[in-house]
Amino acid sequence: MAPEPRPATTGRPASSRTRRDGRPPAMNDVAALAGVSHQTVSRVLNDHPSVRPATRERVLEAIATLGYRPNLAARALVTRRTGTLGVITPASALFGPTSTLVAFEQAARDAGFYVSVATLREFSGGEVVAAVEHFLAQGVDGVVVVAPRSGTVDAVSGVRLPVPVVLVSSGREGVDLPTVAVDQVAGGRLATEHLLATGRRTVVHVAGPPEWYDARDRLRGWREALEAAGAVVPAERRGGWSAADGFAVGQELLRDGLPDAVFAANDQLALGLLAAFAQAGARVPQDVAVVGFDDEPGTAFYSTPLTTVRQGFDELGRRAVQAVAEALAGGAPGHQSIAPELVVRASSGARGAVHGG
């Protein structure tokens, strides 16, 4: 009888196949098919640099042919690591929290981690504890908490964990945990100092919700810049985070008398302001300058291209992953602050001037 032909390979992972004895393929089966030792298979799976390219390719082909899946549970017993990080984040579609989550997940994957996510509507102590217990049952190596609102940090600080915890939050006062954050105060100063440098004297701030740490810090940066310049500090205007909120505040400013400039706490508020001013025939930047915050996709294509403050979300994600990795290695990461960047476009041009985007 002719020998059974070797299964063809496609180069793509196959679904896990069982052996004739009913068990799924094991590492020894991969080694036998590839003609190498099981130690070599292990080195390939762990991306060890000592394996020759041709040998690596042969092992990967055998893995695909057999549909072999590493036993992560067994590996975790040996290494005491699962290669998984847990992330607790608010259930929010806002640009900042979602961009932070995406950046962290990508940075974690680049560093060899997988990510498990728990989105919470309320950061109460009970919800945080439930999320943490879920992660611990999964055996995560560390937990990252995206904490944008007041009360979040307190809820997290009250939970003691056997794994490293890193906060992504500008609300770090009195917190004995490693934190990573974009310097929101510096961002508020950048925006305000830029408007003053263009010759504006009255700069109104449209602030975000007061329970958000970032909103508080951007407000603080605006106030500090005005005070340092000896400029008038007008009353801030309050909104939510939406373009509709910005439009409503824009209508208020039109009724009360336009200031020289407006610094909005995010780009959506700025979008609403631009719409309100355009509807009333007020010209930007000739009659009133506008600066936003975030540098959302599309801000360069607003009716008047928007000057804004860019947050380095990619860097934020990398720093958070590095902080967890440092803690896992026995280090003691502290607070890391990331400098924001001013992106100048047409909406803040010199008074009376018209600039392209």
Say yes or no: 193 and 224 in one domain: yes
Q: CATH number for the domain including 307? A: 3.40.50.2300
Alpha-carbon span 353 to 344, nearest angstrom: 14
> Is 50 exceeded by the pLDDT of residue 187?
yes
In tens, the pLDDT along 249-296 reads 999 999 999 999 999 999 999 999 999 999 999 999 999 999 999 999
Q: What is the pLDDT of residue 19?
A: 54
- Tell me which residue range forms the domain holding 90: 82-181
Say yes or no: 140 and 195 in one domain: no
Q: What is the pLDDT of residue 174?
A: 64
Of the candidates 218, 104, 92, the one whose C-alpha atom is nearest the C-alpha of residue 152 is 92
In tens, the pLDDT along 149-170 reads 877 777 777 677 788 889 888 7
What are the C-alpha distances in Å from 281 to residues 244, 264, 286, 287?
18, 20, 11, 10
Residue 329 resides in a domain: no
In tens, the pLDDT along 312-348 reads 999 999 999 999 989 888 888 888 999 999 999 999 9
Say yes or no: 231 and 291 in one domain: yes
Q: CATH number for the domain including 11? A: 1.10.260.40
Paired tokens of 146: 């995206």
In tens, the pLDDT along 189-241 reads 999 999 999 999 999 999 999 989 999 999 999 999 999 999 999 999 998 99
Say yes or no: 174 and 189 in one domain: no
Q: What is the pLDDT of residue 81?
A: 59
Alpha-carbon span 161 to 142, nearest angstrom: 9
Q: What is the pLDDT of residue 181?
A: 92
Residue 209 resides in a domain: yes
Q: What is the total count of domains within the chain?
A: 3
> Is 50 exceeded by the pLDDT of residue 356?
no
Contact 290, 304 (CB under 8 A): yes
Last residue in a domain, options 50, 70, 90: 70
Of the candidates 64, 74, 63, 80, the one whose C-alpha atom is nearest the C-alpha of residue 28 is 63
Residue 288 resides in a domain: yes
Q: What is the pLDDT of residue 8?
A: 39
In tens, the pLDDT along 78-137 reads 445 568 899 988 887 888 888 988 999 999 888 888 898 988 887 676 787 788 888 888
* Tokens 């400039």 sit on residue: 261
Q: What is the pLDDT of residue 16?
A: 46
